[in-house]
Every structure is written in C-alpha cells, then in structure tokens.
Amino acid sequence: MSQAIATAPAPAPAARPRRGGSEFSPLLRTVKDQGLLDHRPGWYARDIALTLLGIAAVAGGLLLAGPTWWSVLLAVPLAVLSARAAFVAHDAGHAQVTADRRAGRAVQLVHANLLLGMSREWWNDKHNRHHANPNHLDKDPDVAADVLVFAEHQTAGRTGLRGFLTRHQALLFFPLTTLEGLALKLYGVQALLAKDGPYRTRRERLTEGALLLLHFAGYAALLLTALTPVQALVFALVHQMLLGVHLGMAFAPNHKGMDRPDQHEDGDSWGHLRRQVLTSRNIRGGALTDWFLGGLNYQVEHHLFPSMPRPHLRLAQPAVRAHCRALGIPYTETGFVDSYRQALGHLHEVGAPLREERAGRPE
C-alpha cells in the first residue's frame, strides 16, 4: 500500500466545481482515491520506537556519565527527541496515527502528558479552535494578543514591558521561544486546576493530572540522581530552552503574515478550502526539512486534511497545488529562511505604530 502511494504519478487537477458546489469536494475525492487518508500505523510505530529508544539512551547516558558538566551536552539530543514526541502528540490529537480512538488517545497521553508534561486536553481544545478558524483574530487563540501581537490595532494601550516587547517583537521572537517549552507545561497545569477547564469528566482530569505529576517527578528524579542540583538545573534550562526554540521554528512560519479572514467582509463565509489555503504557508525542502519540522512545513495540506498521516502530506501536495491553480486560489510556498523573514517581517511591521509613537515623544 505505502509503496503504491509513494510511486503514484502526480494527479491531474481536480475538476472545477459546479456553481454553488464545494470547492473542496473534488480535491477531497482525489485525495481519498489515492488512499492518502489511510492510516499508517506501521510508520508511526517505527517513529515512536526510535523516539522512545533515543530518550532511553539519553537517560542511560546521564546515569552512566554521572555528575559531570559534560552531561549537560546531552540536553541537546533530548531537546530534539522531545520535539519528536511533541510532533507525535500533535499527530495523535488529529487522529493521524490510528483509526482507533482509544489507542490514539493513549498515544497522545504518553507523548504529551508523560513525556512532555503538557496537558493533552488543553492542547487539543486550543489547537482545534485554531484549525477551525486559522488566523482569525477573534476566533483563533494562536493569534490572540498576548506576549506577541499580530495586528496593528492589538498594539493599542500596550505600555511598559508589554510595550517594549511589542516594539521589538521581531527581534525578540526567537529569544522568547526559549520559554515555549516551559509555557506549554504551565498553561496545561493552569487548565488542569481551573474549574472551567476543557476536561469533560473527573476521570479525565485525574488521568491527565496523574501523568503530569509522574512526568515532573520522573524528570526531577532522573536529573537529581545523575547530576548535582546545580548541574540538574542547568541541564533542565538548556533542555527546555532548546525544545522551545525547536518548536517555535516549526510553528512560527505557518500562518504569521498570511491573509486573515477578519480583514474581509466575507471572511466568515469562506469555504474550507479558502479558509485553510489562504491563511497558511508551506516551506520548501527535502527529507531533512520534513523531519526537522515534523511535517508542519506542509501546512496547507495539513490544514486541509488534519487527519492525513504525516508521511502522506508531501504526496498530497501536487494535487492540492494543481487544484488551487485551477481555481485561481493563491498557494503560498517559500524557502526555509525566507519563511522566517516573512513571518518576522510581519511582526516588525505590526510593532511599527508603537515605535513611531515612542520616537515622536518629546524627551
């Protein structure tokens, strides 16, 4: 099955939909006919096994090396492996890993809660709202005004530290991503303790809480057993900071600076195809790019088909690109470096009003 898919020729553009018909339906049929929505449990099993073996090897290396500052170097591969776990947790949340909902939930609980210390249900709630309305300032939590802002009107009234961050948010973006690994843990714990959190049942809350507690206890026990307290603290900081940068590099270029539905009078009526394609940006690259970014470099395809297994995203790209071309819908794809230039350029432009306001103030 996988070999047949991998060697299939690029499809012809899907037929232009009839007036009043869905622009997305012909593309969906094309992708289904190619079997690109079929699950790949074997592929994920290998990926998960390699990640778990890698984490076990790092833990073993820490214990064998003992309390030496050289052990801090192991924080680098652990950060990469933690990002691999995050990508699996993301995919499991989209039902990409398996059609069995219970098995998919278990996979995500292990990778999100146990391995990362990140709440599965908090992530799913936030991420599903993002997928439903990407880049919509009023509906997408990923572009709500927070530490960063994504539209000029969001800069109003930001003074003090928030004003400083907004004025220089493009320059500070990557330094701020060093906090992302810790932020994912903090927000998840806050949601777990909140009365109005996303957890539907008491059992669900207790399960997630127990796994989070096990993560934090196991992480601390490993580091304090292998290292001195100071070395353990430095290791944890390096690990979490590098994890944050890695995840930030995977998420940053996907939507920042792309079209926003709230900027258009008919934005709320956009169909699924336009809503996902116009707000997303792909990153060109080969196998290394696919691996490093966890398949999120195919952001257009991922948003169109959230349950599509990661190894099929690149195979769906020719059909998606051809279909968009046939409909006259812009399909955005750029290089690795240029994608960050565009995203950071947008953040710099958004902060311009505050910089101009500050420059105009009398001394």
Please report how many Cα atoms fall inside a 13 Å half-sphere around the Cα of residue 157, on the Cβ side. 4
Distance CA 298, CA 289 (A): 10
pLDDT in tens, 63-88: 999 999 999 999 999 999 999 999 99
pLDDT above 90 (res 295): yes
Per-residue pLDDT, averaged over 46-63, amounts to: 98
- Give the pLDDT confidence score for residue 21 in this predicted structure: 55
Label the pairing between strands 333-334 and 282-283: parallel
Residue 71 class from Cβ within 10 Å (0-12 exposed, 13-18 middle, 19+ buried)? buried
- Give pTM, 2 decimals: 0.90
Contacts 24+ apart (CB under 8 A), 160-166: 163/354, 163/358, 166/350, 166/351, 166/354
pLDDT in tens, 172-195: 999 999 999 999 999 999 999 998
Q: Dihedral sign, CA of 9, 281, 246, 42?
A: negative
Across the chain, mean pLDDT equals 91
Which of 330, 334, 335, 295 is CA-nearest to residue 316?
A: 295
pLDDT in tens, 305-338: 999 999 999 999 999 999 999 999 999 999 999 9
Longest CA–CA separation in the chain, Å: 70
Split at pLDDT 50, 70, 90, the class of 361 is: low
Which of 339, 340, 337, 288 is CA-nearest to residue 314?
A: 288
